[in-house]
A and B are shown apart, each in its own frame.
Chain A
Amino acid sequence: MSLFYVVIFLPFIFAIFVPFIYKLFTPRIHTGWFVFLVPLSVFLFLLQYIPAISKGNTIFYDLPWMPSLGINYTTYIDGLALIFGLLITGVGALVVLYSISYMSKHREALHNFYVYMLLFMGAMLGLVFSDHILVLYVFWELTSISSFLLIAYWYQRKSSRYGAQKSMLITIFGGLAMLAGLIMLSMLTDTYSIREMISKANVISSDSLFLPAMILLLLGAFTKSAQFPFSIWLPDAMEAPTPISAYLHSATMVKAGIYLVARFTPVFGGSSEWFWIVSGIGMITLICGSVTAVNQKDLKALLAYSTISQLGLIMSLLGLGSAAMYFGDGDASTMYAVAVLAALFHLINHSTFKGSLFMVVGIIDHETGTRDIRRLGGLMSLMPVSFTLTIIGSFSMAGLPPFNGFLSKEMFFTGVLTVIKYPVFGMEAFALLVPLIAWVASVFTFIYCMILVLKTFLGKHRPERLDKVAHEATIGMLIPPIILASLVIVIFFFPNVVSHNLLQPALVGILPEFAETGGIDVEIKPWHGWNTELFMTVGVVVFGALMYRYLKKWSLFYGLIPQFLILNNIYNQSLKLMETISLKVTNRYMTGFIRDYLVYIFSFMILVLGVALWLSNDFSFDPSNDASISLYEGGIIFLMAITALSVFFANSRLTAIIAVGALGYLVSLLFVIFRAPDLALTQLVVETVTTALFLLCFRYLPELRKEISRIRFKMTNLGVSIGVGAIVTLMALSVNNHRLFDSISGYFEGAYTLAGAKNIVNAILVDFRGLDTMLEILVLCIAGLGVYTIIKLQLAGREKE
């Protein structure tokens, strides 16, 4: 096993030891210090791949898991995987560092916290480095499960459990859909490897399963990445501790869907469906998320909606960029490829600024006791470092210089403007709409960024509204956001370091056509000159500022949105509705009456047999081969019919019992006539015994319930019983005329030579098929012991009372 796998699985391995470490060192040393080493060392380990990756190489590893099924943990490290790997471990290390100060070592169950977190980290690493789709799926679900555990970390709270359940339902739904999509893909290409699928992309695109596989796969990606309309779980996931929100719900897990879309772009990209769905849903998510974020009163909810909107932005860029595969070569292709580059760039930028913003919000929550915008204000002088960090994060998110968000926002505008320049896939009619949506969404983004900064830190400080006396956080809590915020600035000034080393290799991974031309060489510059993108940004700032100024007036419009249009209400109502309907349905057929269940069973039998008989057209009635009916046989059958009918019309139970006994004796007479002496003897004795037992039961019926009445007539019962009788008769008649082989009874006629017995029946019972007899007497014995046990236990119970 290569060292690589040891490092990748390090979080899992270390998770085993966390509880022991917790037991051993709490409360002397915070468990987080030990955990901190894990992401840090993985991060440092992954850094060594950068030189190779930036040269355009890829690295291949293979770890057998279930080789006989072709399931191995194969790894293909390219730029895309490495970006995610570095983000996961880098942000992971910072989040652990942050959590050391955030999570109290005295009050919190830290062993749970860090085990879940390491589980998540390992799952996420496994996910991004996996080349095998089923292994990818395993890690995918593992991230869902660990995220579920983390959201419900404070499981005493109802809202935590609600949020955890919601995210679980939605992401697992998507995960299962994705599994179906992946299986379809593997059926189409006859391989589990993503690399090989990409090389067979033309096979996939010409198949009829192309669209179903794509939609199912995208369901997985959209649910995980909180795209419209599956975005509703993300705001509720904010019930998790803030380090978790920062890590899972801004920087890593929500980007798993982005990763999936990017990873499968070479397979599906270039088709109009992929282009439309991915960029369309991305656009909708972008605009919905940013508009909703403005109306939030809780800082974390605001950040959650802003995350949704930013994810929509990245997703739409990926969708737009897939058009590069349609053009193949040339100017348009390069222009669209820039969109993919922008998506990757914004992915990194978003992780940095959103991570730091979440941490700052956590600090505010931690130091003032509230996250409600209406209660906060005037914290600028009290928390100057947090204020600076918020400024950096928010302005980067709003897309202002000198922060990295500005660069990716400009590239985003370039991407959407490309649509006007090179319309594809019937885009002409909507070409203007794309930049317009992007611009409007950016205006709203600007507004909520301003809310975040100004409403929290400016204005009047009102200590009476806060639970605690506000003050600056400890240095330990401030270091991680400071590192992230400084990255925000560093990336702005040196974007090409990131671009050359990581983004462009990743781009080649997403758009393999560019591998031959050596990738595209786009110099990311802060200053483009006076181009359209810059004017759009100026417009965003001007309009955003104006709208923020008059926020109070127009925000009333939010109240006009009808309740039934809010996705959350739809989710809640449909969940409730599903429960009520299934309860009603279940209560309707699960009545608890054996009679009803028997009706189901028999009706089903009639249905299945009848339909089978009808469809196979096998019913036949041919009496020519049958033996003739003698007077005795006819007479006995007639008597049997009369006794059987008299059971139904008997007024008292006693009559019915006697009639059943008579029926049994008639059957034994029939055996006599059909020359079965053994059967006749046995039937006679057994019938006597059962009749005696029936009488016994009758004798001990409780007095109160004793009702001597006729069987009540019920139409359903009549229909079902006639149906069963008819169907069995029809089957028997058909079977009689479908004798395909001769009987094997000829063999048993040699019983005397084979078994030394002249009685063939007995020879079969004890010799030829002795095993049946052996087990039958076992059945008999068990029945006897059963009767004994029931009665004795009942007696014992009675004595106890």
Chain B
Amino acid sequence: MKPNDVILHSVTKAAVVIILTFSIYLFFGGHHNPGGGFIGGLSTASGLVLLYLAFDIETVRTNIPIDFKKVAGFGVLLAIMTGFGSIFFDVPFLSQTFGHFDLPIFGETELATAVLFDVGVALAVIGTAITIILSISEDG
């Protein structure tokens, strides 16, 4: 008999949304508060792992058709590219800058190139964590 985990499924659906939101908050809040790319990435990964636990791998894979190895690679690439970006402005490799802009909806907002770099970090962390967990689980 197939075990009926409807409660788990329902809770997961709600929890994953909260976890993902929280991880995005952690990611963007990292600039001024505890958090940042690494934690944000890890908590996103934990949300995804919850999905894998609740449903089976194939189901998740059809709904989120992403190759996480590529995500990891892309993250590293992005981080390195932001480093090269500074070269175009005749400053040393990986120099970051920031500025305050008056955006239509957000009002006065601080934008920093460091966020782009952090995106790379987050993607690399997500990609790596999921790759490791998926490959191990497939092996078992």
A residues adjacent to B (C-beta < 8 A):
677-678, 681-682, 685-686, 689, 693, 696, 699-700, 755-759, 761-763, 765-767, 770-771, 773-774, 777-778, 780-781, 783-785, 787-788, 791-792, 794-795
Contact A770 B117 (CB under 8 A): yes
Contact A756 B42 (CB under 8 A): no
Q: Which of B9-17, B30-38, B56-64 is found at the contact surface with chain A?
A: B30-38
Contact B83 A770 (CB under 8 A): yes
| Contact residues in A for B91 (Cβ distance below 8 Å) | none
B112 within 8 A of A: yes
Contact B30 A756 (CB under 8 A): no
B140 within 8 A of A: yes
B residues adjacent to A (C-beta < 8 A):
26, 30-39, 42-43, 46, 69, 72-73, 75-76, 79-80, 83, 93-94, 96, 98-99, 110, 112, 114, 117-118, 120-121, 124-125, 127-129, 131-132, 135-136, 138-140
Query: Could you tell me the distance in whole angstroms from the C-beta of B45 to the nearest C-beta in chain A?
Result: 9
Query: Could you tell me the distance in whole angstroms from the C-beta of A465 to the nearest C-beta in chain B?
Result: 78
Where chain B touches its partner, the secondary structure class is helix
Residue of A nearest to B30 (CB): A762
CA distance A801 to B113 in the complex (A): 52
Residue of B nearest to A697 (CB): B136
Contact B42 A785 (CB under 8 A): no
Query: Could you tell me the distance in whole angstroms from the C-beta of B138 to the nearest C-beta in chain A?
Result: 7
Query: Could you tell me the distance in whole angstroms from the C-beta of B38 to the nearest C-beta in chain A?
Result: 6
Residue of B nearest to A756 (CB): B98
Asked, given contacts A685-B46, A762-B30, whether A778 binds B110 with beta carbons under 8 Å apart, the answer is no
Residue of B nearest to A773 (CB): B121
Contact B80 A774 (CB under 8 A): yes
Contact A781 B132 (CB under 8 A): no
Residue of A nearest to B79 (CB): A774
Asked, given contacts A762-B30, A770-B83, whether A781 binds B37 with beta carbons under 8 Å apart, the answer is no
| Contact residues in A for B46 (Cβ distance below 8 Å) | 685
Contact B131 A785 (CB under 8 A): yes
Contact B135 A757 (CB under 8 A): no
CA distance A110 to B125 in the complex (A): 66
CA distance A685 to B75 in the complex (A): 20
Contacts A763-B114, A774-B94 aside, 8 further interface pairs with beta carbons under 8 A come to A762-B36, A766-B96, A770-B114, A770-B117, A774-B117, A780-B128, A781-B124, A785-B72
Residue of A nearest to B110 (CB): A756
CA distance A417 to B62 in the complex (A): 107
Sample (22) of A-B pairs whose CB atoms are under 8 Å apart: A685-B39, A685-B42, A685-B46, A700-B140, A755-B114, A757-B112, A758-B32, A759-B35, A762-B36, A766-B114, A767-B96, A770-B117, A774-B83, A774-B94, A774-B117, A777-B75, A777-B120, A778-B124, A780-B72, A781-B76, A781-B127, A781-B128
Where chain A touches its partner, the secondary structure class is helix
CA distance A783 to B75 in the complex (A): 14
Contact A784 B36 (CB under 8 A): no
Asked, given contacts A681-B35, A758-B32, A762-B30, whether A783 binds B94 with beta carbons under 8 Å apart, the answer is no
CA distance A756 to B101 in the complex (A): 13
CA distance A763 to B26 in the complex (A): 15
Contact B139 A791 (CB under 8 A): yes
Shortest Cβ-Cβ A-B pairs, 10 listed: A756-B98, A784-B128, A677-B34, A758-B32, A777-B124, A766-B114, A784-B131, A762-B36, A767-B96, A685-B42
Residue of B nearest to A752 (CB): B32
| Contact residues in B for A785 (Cβ distance below 8 Å) | 69, 72, 131
Partner of A689 from B39, B129, B138 at Cβ < 8 Å: B129
Query: Could you tell me the distance in whole angstroms from the C-beta of B65 to the nearest C-beta in chain A?
Result: 18
| Contact residues in B for A757 (Cβ distance below 8 Å) | 31-32, 98, 112, 114
Asked, given contacts A756-B110, A781-B73, A781-B124, whether A788 binds B35 with beta carbons under 8 Å apart, the answer is no
Contact A681 B127 (CB under 8 A): no
Asked, given contacts A778-B76, A781-B73, whether A787 binds B124 with beta carbons under 8 Å apart, the answer is no
Contact A787 B33 (CB under 8 A): no
| Contact residues in B for A784 (Cβ distance below 8 Å) | 69, 72, 127-129, 131-132
